[in-house]
Amino acid sequence: MNRRRLRSVFIPTLISLGVCSLIFLAPAVRADSISFQLSTTSQSTTSGGTVTFDGSVINNSGADLNASDFFFNFSAFVPGSVSPIQLLGVLSDFSIPNGATTPVVELFEVTLGPVPPNSIFSIAAQLENSAGDLSAIQTVNVSVPGSVSVPEPGVLLLLAMGLLALALARVFFALR
């Protein structure tokens, strides 16, 4: 294998990996000024049931805030079947100093309407604060009994990276 060909393969590959990591890992690397970490992103309930999503809120906004300075925006869900309700700051207000991560608290709940079995509902959740800072969007899933689990975006990302690594390995072996 000549060096020229090797360069023609590796340079685009490295660029590709760099861009990929920039895109996929950007939220983590950027260290969002506010973020939240869910204890779990998928839960099951029955038709008409309610599930509560808890987790932690991380405040790196540069200001000491209270729980009631944070608001959840929900979108991309099926209207009529899903009703997300914020709990953070409603049940009790508490201080979240700058740089602090809260203990695990109830963040929001999702109530399903009358829905058929074997169904799954996704909701995009984003945290906003009173200064207008926005967290990365996270998707939560609520399924009814019997529903088929769907891999999360994070899992898909890992799968894609694995396949990419396999492909690169194969390229190396083929070039040798």
Partner 1 sequence: MRFARLPWLLLMLTFLCQPIFAQSPVLTSGVAGVTTLGSTVSILLPIMNSGATTAGSITVTSASLAGLSSTSPFPMALGDLTPGGSNGLSVNFGDSTLVAGHKYLLTVRGTYVSGAQTLGFSLNRFITFGQLSVFQQPPKPINVSSTIDPSHAVSGVISAVSGGTLTTKSADGSEFTLTIPPNALLGDQPMTMSPIRSVAGFPLSGGFVAGVELSPEGLVLLQPATLTITPSQPVPVAQQIAFGYVGSGQDFYLYPLNLVNTVTLSLLHFSGYGLGSGNAPSFNPSDALAQLQSAAAALVAAERARVMMGEPPDPEFGQKLLELEQQCFLQVIQPLLDQAEQNVTDDQGARDAIAKALGWDRLGQLLGAGNDKVFQQEEEFIRKAINAISVGEFNLAYDNCIASANPILVADMIGIARYFELTGGGAASNLGADYWDKINKCANQKLAVDFDSEIKGVYSGPILGAGVASTDSVVQASGLSLTWDSAGFNPTQAAFRIQSAPMDYVSLSYTLGSYLIVKSCASVTSYSATISVRARPSLNLFGKAFGKAPAPSMVTDINPTSDEELLACDCDPAGCFEAPFSVSHPYYSVGWTLIGGREPFVAPLNATTTFSGRTGSAAVGGGSSATFRESTTTVTVNSNPPN
Q: Name the site residues for partner 1 (rule: CB under 8 A).
A: 5, 8-13, 15-16, 19-20, 23, 68-69, 71-80, 82-86, 89-90, 93, 124, 126, 128, 130, 132, 134, 137, 139, 153, 160, 164, 167, 171, 174-175
Provide the minimum distance between the beta carbon of 24 and partner 1 in the complex, in angstroms, as a whole number: 8
State which amino acid sits at residue 144: V
Of residues 117, 57, 51, the one with CA closest to residue 84: 51
For residue 134, the cross-strand partners are: 128
Of residues 146, 50, 68, 147, the one with CA closest to residue 105: 68
Q: Is the Cβ of residue 79 or residue 103 nearer to partner 1 in the bound state?
A: 79
Q: Is the Cβ of residue 71 or residue 118 nearer to partner 1 in the bound state?
A: 71
Q: Is the Cβ of residue 120 or residue 171 nearer to partner 1 in the bound state?
A: 171
Q: Encode burial over 104-121: b for 16+ CB neighbours within 10 A, e otherwise.
A: ebebbbbebeebeeebeb
Provide the minimum distance between the beta carbon of 165 and partner 1 in the complex, in angstroms, as a whole number: 12
Provide the minimum distance between the beta carbon of 155 and partner 1 in the complex, in angstroms, as a whole number: 14
Provide the minimum distance between the beta carbon of 134 and partner 1 in the complex, in angstroms, as a whole number: 6
What SS3 state is found at 65? strand
Alpha carbons 132 and 124: distance in angstroms, whole number: 18
Q: Is the Cβ of residue 16 or residue 37 nearer to partner 1 in the bound state?
A: 16
Provide the minimum distance between the beta carbon of 86 and partner 1 in the complex, in angstroms, as a whole number: 4
Of residues 134, 102, 143, the one with CA closest to residue 27: 134
Q: Is the Cβ of residue 39 or residue 75 nearer to partner 1 in the bound state?
A: 75
